[in-house]
Structure 1
Amino acid sequence: MSLLDSFMARATLAGLGVMLAAAPLGCFVVWRRMAYFGDATAHAAILGVALALGFEISIFVGVLAVALAMAVTVSTLSGRGYGMDTLLGVLSHSALAFGLVAVSFLQGVRVDLMAYLFGDILAVGRMDLAIIWGGALLVLALVAWRWSALLVSTLNPDLAHASGIDPRREQLVLTIALAVVVAVAIKVVGVILIASLLIIPPAAARPLVRTPEAMALVAAAIGVASVIGGLQGALIFDTPAGPSIVCVAALIFLLASIGDGLRNALGKTGA
């Protein structure tokens, strides 16, 4: 019997693949305060699902295409008279609404909307695993290749210009990587919870570390712990797997925040 014959093994591998890609990318989302951008890209994924089903193409391809289109649209329209939060709010909810309406027009196609909205990690198959890990390795390679340039353009755009780095180009690299993560994560946690995987592990890691590289590594470790703990919790308490993973990540964030608060309070008392 192969390891991949176990649905729990496939679910665990799928969750680990998504988390390993989402953690370092999520650090940039947190540093750049792009949480709403991640949410908007994820919401657009439902429109990608509808188009993929309508044209009978791969769900991954449909979601990736729409996520990339959303990223390019936001980059193009930003700075043209609209506040970024307003622009993302309009595009995010419009794409989600159009996607849900488009799904209702599909004839003869059984669509499990709950699986796409909240994920169905326990139903991950071998082909899904190949897509998830292929996308995750692509994102990791892209982030590792552009790490220094992304970091400089994130922390100090003026220094980036002086160093010959184009911040807008690095922003495009980041949005492409984000679109890939959304496309591979939809099967794991669904469009509603994808942004939480990008934000919560890095946010939990932030008070525990002192360097950007350490934050990416600790965020990945927290993500792995969230996947394993969430799946075990779902198995024991018979709860939805995707939301359970996010709940464990949120609990780790809470513990890290409490620990950081206590450390600061003790430091002030000692001083």
Structure 2
Amino acid sequence: MTFLDDFLIRSALAGLGVALSAAPLGCFVVWRRMAYFGDATAHAAILGVALALVFDTSVFGGVLAVSLLMATTVTALSGRAHTMDTLLGVMAHSAIAFGLVAVSLLQGVRIDLMAYLFGDILAVSRGDLAVIWGGAGMVIGLLVWRWQALLTATLSPDLAHAAGINPRREQYVLTIALALVVAVAIKVVGVLLIAAMLIIPAAAARPFARTPERMAGIAAGIGALSVLAGLRLSFQFDTPTGPTIVCVAAVLFALISAGAALKGQTAG
């Protein structure tokens, strides 16, 4: 028996891969107020699953392609005919509706829709683990490589232009990273909860953040803690694992926010 034969070890490693890539990216989602953007990209994943099954190809590839198409389309169309929130609302709900209809029309294919909607982390295989960590590694590498440019473009587009940085290009870098996170996270927390793993750890880390790098590091730690504690609680109480992980993250956010508010009142 090898180390990876234990399904709980595989589950923990898969969850950690998602947490360590999603949480730092989530900081940019929070800073740029892109929460709905993450939702729209994640919801498109169901359509990617359906297309992957139709063409008998990799689910990861199908989800990545459709998520990337959704994210780049929203980025390209933003600020033209409609406001960003309107555009995201239309595309997010349309994508998941078309995806669910496409899945229902598949003939001769049995699909566990709940696993794609809420994740099935306990069924992660060695191959899934390789895909998850491969995608997570690409996201982390992309963020490290473009960190300063992304940060400058986030803080001030005018300052970015003055420094020779194209804010539009950095937006597309975030788009690629977001599509990768959606593709690797679908197995762990599912389409409906991916945005939570992006936003909640980053939001929880905010009270501790004196620098952007510190916030990203703390967010990754909170995400990892949520995964490990959620797995433990799910195994102990026989609850769905993906939602339990998100519940733990939400509780940590509530406790941290309450502690920060209490500290502020005491200091005042």
Q: Residue deviations 1:119-163, cap 9 Å, x none? A: 000000000000000000000000000000000000011000000
Q: Which runs of 5+ in 2 are unaligned?
A: none
Q: Could you say what secondary structure the match of 2:189 adopts?
A: helix
Q: Could you say what secondary structure the match of 1:187 adopts?
A: coil
Q: How many residues align?
A: 268
Partners of 2:75 and 2:133 in 1: how far apart? 27
> Residue 104 of structure 1: CA displacement?
1.1
Q: Which residue of 2 aligns with 1:112?
A: 112
Q: Which residue of 1 aligns with 2:223?
A: 223
Q: Please state if 1:63 is matched with 2:63.
A: yes
Q: Please state if 1:253 is matched with 2:250.
A: no
> Residue 81 of structure 1: CA displacement?
2.3
Q: Which residue of 1 aligns with 2:174?
A: 174
Q: Could you say what secondary structure the match of 1:108 adopts?
A: coil
Q: Which residue of 1 aligns with 2:27?
A: 27
Partners of 1:156 and 1:79 in 2: how far apart? 18
Task: Please tell me the residue identity of whatever aligns with 1:196.
Answer: A
Assess if the C-alpha contact under 8 Å between 1:208 and 1:256 holds in 2: no
Counterparts of residues 228-243 of structure 1 (less than 5 Å): 228-243=228-243
RMSD in angstroms over aligned alpha carbons?
A: 0.5
Q: Which residue of 2 aligns with 1:194?
A: 194
Task: Please tell me the residue identity of whatever aligns with 2:19.
Answer: M
Q: Which residue of 2 aligns with 1:38?
A: 38
Q: Please state if 1:155 is matched with 2:160.
A: no
Partners of 2:160 and 2:196 in 1: how far apart? 29
Task: Please tell me the residue identity of whatever aligns with 1:148.
Answer: Q
Identity among equivalent pairs (%): 71
Q: Could you say what secondary structure the match of 2:80 adopts?
A: coil
Q: Which runs of 5+ in 1 are unaligned?
A: none
Q: Runs ≥4 in structure 1, deviation > 6 angstroms?
A: none
Q: Residue deviations 1:177-205, cap 9 Å, x none? A: 00000000000000000000000000000
Assess if the C-alpha contact under 8 Å between 1:115 and 1:190 holds in 2: yes
Partners of 1:76 and 1:155 in 2: how far apart? 21
Partners of 1:189 and 1:209 in 2: how far apart? 26
> Residue 86 of structure 1: CA displacement?
0.6
Partners of 1:159 and 1:267 in 2: how far apart? 35
Task: Please tell me the residue identity of whatever aligns with 2:106.
Answer: L
Assess if the C-alpha contact under 8 Å between 1:201 and 1:220 holds in 2: yes
Partners of 1:83 and 1:13 in 2: how far apart? 39
Q: Which residue of 2 aligns with 1:87?
A: 87
Task: Please tell me the residue identity of whatever aligns with 2:9.
Answer: A
Q: Which residue of 1 aligns with 2:6?
A: 6
